[in-house]
């Protein structure tokens, strides 16, 4: 039991993963000396399964499955606190972003499905209209997740204050945006296979 849970560094995998992160984020996770300053300043660490420091360690151990399948990379709100504080100049938030990109490209099944659903819905709306229509995003998300009545009062309050525009705007550039979004969607499909 214990034996199966012990993790050993896989240097080959580590090299490859670090290389791919380097390409996407322009930063070398290999520089990490595990001081934990990223974790200390992270506002969302309580909602994560691995701390940012642990993510750095897992990358350096080549634990690709773990880092691509965790909650942490999706809970990260890209506030950049870790990036500006890292004494080794690792762009930690950018590493998280790179890991999210990799997870999507590899078609990894994410445990943070609600967050992913939010992002995908956002992209669908922007791909359709060229601009974000907030009411569609909020309503769509509530319908998809079955949390229809949560925040209903708040929605009414916003509506009365003219904060929810009922009709989406659609500029001419929407078509070009649709093209960019479908480039991404196509790659997602390939990743999912």
Tokens representing residue 98 in the block: 């790179």
For other proteins, the binding residues in 15-44 under the rule CB under 8 A are: 24-25, 43-44
User: CA of 184: how far to CAs of 116, 179, 181, 193, in Å?
Assistant: 15, 9, 5, 15
H or E element that contains 23: helix 11-25
By the rule CB under 8 A, 107 interacts with other proteins: no
Rounded Cα distance, 144 and 16, in Å: 37
Rounded Cα distance, 142 and 103, in Å: 25
Judged by CB under 8 A, which of 163, 186, 189, 190 binds other proteins?
163
- Provide the 8-state DSSP code for 169: -
Closest distance between other proteins and the C-beta of residue 77, in Å?
Answer: 4
* Contact track, other proteins, 119-158, x by CB under 8 A: xx-xx--x---xxxxxx--x--x--------xx--x--xx
Closest distance between other proteins and the C-beta of residue 2, in Å?
Answer: 33
By the rule CB under 8 A, 174 interacts with other proteins: yes
Closest distance between other proteins and the C-beta of residue 7, in Å?
Answer: 28
Q: Considering only 1-9, 12-20, 62-70, 175-183, which stretch makes contact with other proteins by CB under 8 A? A: 175-183
CB distance 71 to 115 below 8 Å: no
Q: How many residues would you count in the chain?
A: 193
Rounded Cα distance, 64 and 58, in Å: 8
By the rule CB under 8 A, 164 interacts with other proteins: yes
Tokens representing residue 133 in the block: 């229509």
Q: What percentage of the chain's residues is helix, strand, coil (to nearest 5)?
A: 65, 0, 35
For other proteins, the binding residues in 45-104 under the rule CB under 8 A are: 46-47, 74-75, 77-81, 83-84, 91, 93, 97-98, 100-101, 104
Helices 134-145 and 113-129: crossing angle, nearest 10°? 140
User: For binding to other proteins (CB under 8 A), which residues are involved?
Assistant: 24-25, 43-44, 46-47, 74-75, 77-81, 83-84, 91, 93, 97-98, 100-101, 104-105, 112, 114-115, 117-120, 122-123, 126, 130-135, 138, 141, 150-151, 154, 157-158, 160-165, 169, 171-174, 176-177, 179-181, 183-184, 187
């Amino acid at each position: 039991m214990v034996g199966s849970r012990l993790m050993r560094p896989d240097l080959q995998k580590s090299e490859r993963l670090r290389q791919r992160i380097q390409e996407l984020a322009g930063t070398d996770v290999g520089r990490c000396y595990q001081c934990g300053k990223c974790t200390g300043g992270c506002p969302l660490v309580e909602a994560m399964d691995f701390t940012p420091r642990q993510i750095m360690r897992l990358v350096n151990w080549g634990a690709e499955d773990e880092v691509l399948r965790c909650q942490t990379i999706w809970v990260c709100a890209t506030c950049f606190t870790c990036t500006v504080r890292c004494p080794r100049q690792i762009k930690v938030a950018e590493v998280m972003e790179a890991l999210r990109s990799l997870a999507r490209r590899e078609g990894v099944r994410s445990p943070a499905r609600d967050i992913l659903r939010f992002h995908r819905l956002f992209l669908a709306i922007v791909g359709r209209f060229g601009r974000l229509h907030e009411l569609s995003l909020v309503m769509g998300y509530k319908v998809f997740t079955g949390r229809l009545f949560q925040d209903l009062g708040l929605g009414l309050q916003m509506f009365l204050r003219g904060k929810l525009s009922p009709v989406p705007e659609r500029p001419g550039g929407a078509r070009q945006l649709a093209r960019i979004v479908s480039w991404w969607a196509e790659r997602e499909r390939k990743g999912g296979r």
